[in-house]
Chain A
Amino acid sequence: MQGHSHYVPKTGIGKWFDARLPLPRLVYDSFIAYPVPKNLNYFWTFGGILSVMLVAQIITGVVLAMHYTAHVDLAFNSIEKIMRDVNYGWMIRYLHANGASMFFVAVYVHMLRGLYYGSYKAPREILWILGVIIYLLMMATAFMGYVLPWGQMSLWGAVVITNLFSAIPVVGPTIVEFLWGGYSVDNPTLNRFFSLHYLLPFMIAGVVALHVWALHVTGQNNPTGVEVKDIKKDTVPFTPYATIKDAFGIICFFILFAWFAFFQPNYLGHAVNYVPGDPLVTPAHIVPEWYFLPFYAILRAITFDINLIVFVIPSKLGGVLAMFAAIAVLAFLPWLDTSKVKSTAYRPLHKQFFWAFVVVCVMLGWLGSKPAEYPYTVLSLIFTGLYFAYFLLVLPLLGLFETPKALPASIADAVLEQERKKGGAPVTAGANAAPQTKG
Chain B
Amino acid sequence: MASVQHAEGDRRDFLFLATGAAAAVGGAAVVWPFISQLAPDAATVAAGAPVELDLSSIAAGAQIKILWRGKPYFVRNRTEAEIKAAQDVDISTLRDPETDAHRVKEGHAKWLITAANCTHLGCVPLGNQGDYGGWFCPCHGSHFDTSGRIRKGPAPKNLPVPQYTFVSETRIRITGAAAA
Contact B67 A280 (CB under 8 A): yes
| CB proximity to A under 8 Å, residues B34-65 | 35, 38-41, 44, 48, 65
Task: From B44, B65, B153, give the contact of A188 (CB < 8 A).
Answer: B44
Contact A300 B154 (CB under 8 A): yes
**Chain B residues whose CB sits within 8 angstroms of the CB of A377 once the complex forms:** 141
Task: From B39, B139, B180, give the contact of A282 (CB < 8 A).
Answer: B139
**Chain A residues whose CB sits within 8 angstroms of the CB of B35 once the complex forms:** 178
A181 in contact with B38 given A279-B72, A300-B154, A315-B156 (CB within 8 Å): yes
**Chain B residues whose CB sits within 8 angstroms of the CB of A161 once the complex forms:** 121
- Expressed in whole angstroms, the Cα–Cα distance for A214 and B72 within the complex equals 50
Min CB distance B64 to A, Å, is 10
Min CB distance A403 to B, Å, is 44
| Interface residue A230 (Cβ < 8 Å from any Cβ of B) | no
Interface membership of chain A positions 265-301, coded 1 if the CB is closer than 8 angstroms to chain B and 0 otherwise? 0000000000000011110111000000000000010
Contact A159 B122 (CB under 8 A): yes
| Interface residue A408 (Cβ < 8 Å from any Cβ of B) | no
Task: From A159, A179, A183, give the contact of B44 (CB < 8 A).
Answer: A183
Min CB distance B137 to A, Å, is 8
Min CB distance A284 to B, Å, is 5
A319 in contact with B180 given A159-B123, A163-B122 (CB within 8 Å): no
Min CB distance A275 to B, Å, is 15
- Expressed in whole angstroms, the Cα–Cα distance for A314 and B69 within the complex equals 28
| Interface residue A32 (Cβ < 8 Å from any Cβ of B) | no
| Interface residue B124 (Cβ < 8 Å from any Cβ of A) | yes
| Interface residue B174 (Cβ < 8 Å from any Cβ of A) | no
A315 in contact with B121 given A181-B44, A377-B141 (CB within 8 Å): no
Interface membership of chain A positions 92-113, coded 1 if the CB is closer than 8 angstroms to chain B and 0 otherwise? 0000000000000000000000
| CB proximity to B under 8 Å, residues A370-396 | 371-373, 377
- Tell me the nearest residue of chain B to A287, going by C-beta: B139
| Interface residue A182 (Cβ < 8 Å from any Cβ of B) | yes
Contact B124 A183 (CB under 8 A): no
**Chain A residues whose CB sits within 8 angstroms of the CB of B41 once the complex forms:** 181, 188
A285 in contact with B44 given A164-B121, A279-B70 (CB within 8 Å): no
| Interface residue B140 (Cβ < 8 Å from any Cβ of A) | yes
| CB proximity to A under 8 Å, residues B86-144 | 117, 119-125, 138-141
| Interface residue A410 (Cβ < 8 Å from any Cβ of B) | no
A281 in contact with B154 given A177-B40, A372-B141 (CB within 8 Å): no
Task: From B70, B119, B138, B156, give the contact of A182 (CB < 8 A).
Answer: B70
- Tell me the nearest residue of chain B to A377, going by C-beta: B141
Contact A282 B138 (CB under 8 A): yes
Contact B124 A282 (CB under 8 A): yes
**Chain B residues whose CB sits within 8 angstroms of the CB of A300 once the complex forms:** 140, 154
**Chain A residues whose CB sits within 8 angstroms of the CB of B140 once the complex forms:** 300, 303, 372
- Tell me the nearest residue of chain A to B39, going by C-beta: A178
- Expressed in whole angstroms, the Cα–Cα distance for A162 and B65 within the complex equals 22
- Expressed in whole angstroms, the Cα–Cα distance for A224 and B37 within the complex equals 53
- Expressed in whole angstroms, the Cα–Cα distance for A373 and B71 within the complex equals 27
Contact B67 A156 (CB under 8 A): no
**Chain A residues whose CB sits within 8 angstroms of the CB of B141 once the complex forms:** 303, 371-373, 377
Contact B121 A163 (CB under 8 A): yes
| Interface residue B177 (Cβ < 8 Å from any Cβ of A) | yes
| Interface residue A216 (Cβ < 8 Å from any Cβ of B) | no
A183 in contact with B138 given A159-B121, A286-B123, A302-B154 (CB within 8 Å): no
| Interface residue A69 (Cβ < 8 Å from any Cβ of B) | no
- Expressed in whole angstroms, the Cα–Cα distance for A180 and B71 within the complex equals 12
Contact A184 B154 (CB under 8 A): no
**Chain A residues whose CB sits within 8 angstroms of the CB of B70 once the complex forms:** 182-186, 279
Contact B69 A183 (CB under 8 A): yes
**Chain B residues whose CB sits within 8 angstroms of the CB of A281 once the complex forms:** 124
**Chain B residues whose CB sits within 8 angstroms of the CB of A22 once the complex forms:** none
Contact B38 A178 (CB under 8 A): yes
Min CB distance B51 to A, Å, is 13
Min CB distance A412 to B, Å, is 55
- Tell me the nearest residue of chain A to B116, going by C-beta: A280
| Interface residue B155 (Cβ < 8 Å from any Cβ of A) | yes
| CB proximity to B under 8 Å, residues A129-180 | 156, 159-164, 173, 177-180
Interface membership of chain A positions 297-336, coded 1 if the CB is closer than 8 angstroms to chain B and 0 otherwise? 0001011000000000011110100000000000000000
- Tell me the nearest residue of chain B to A174, going by C-beta: B39
Contact B153 A372 (CB under 8 A): yes
Contact B138 A371 (CB under 8 A): yes
**Chain A residues whose CB sits within 8 angstroms of the CB of B124 once the complex forms:** 280-282
Task: From A178, A282, A315, A317, give the contact of B123 (CB < 8 A).
Answer: A282
Min CB distance A298 to B, Å, is 12
A160 in contact with B153 given A181-B39, A181-B44, A184-B69 (CB within 8 Å): no
Min CB distance B82 to A, Å, is 22
Min CB distance A372 to B, Å, is 4
A181 in contact with B40 given A280-B67, A303-B153 (CB within 8 Å): yes
- Tell me the nearest residue of chain A to B95, going by C-beta: A305
18 pairs, A vs B, C-beta closer than 8 Å: A156-B123, A159-B122, A160-B121, A163-B122, A177-B39, A178-B38, A179-B38, A181-B38, A183-B177, A192-B38, A285-B138, A303-B140, A303-B153, A316-B154, A371-B138, A372-B139, A372-B154, A373-B141
**Interface residue ranges, A against B (CB under 8 Å):** 156, 159-164, 173, 177-186, 188, 192, 279-282, 284-286, 300, 302-303, 314-317, 319, 371-373, 377
4 cross-chain pairs, A with B, having the tightest CB-CB distances, nearest first: A184-B70, A372-B141, A183-B69, A163-B122
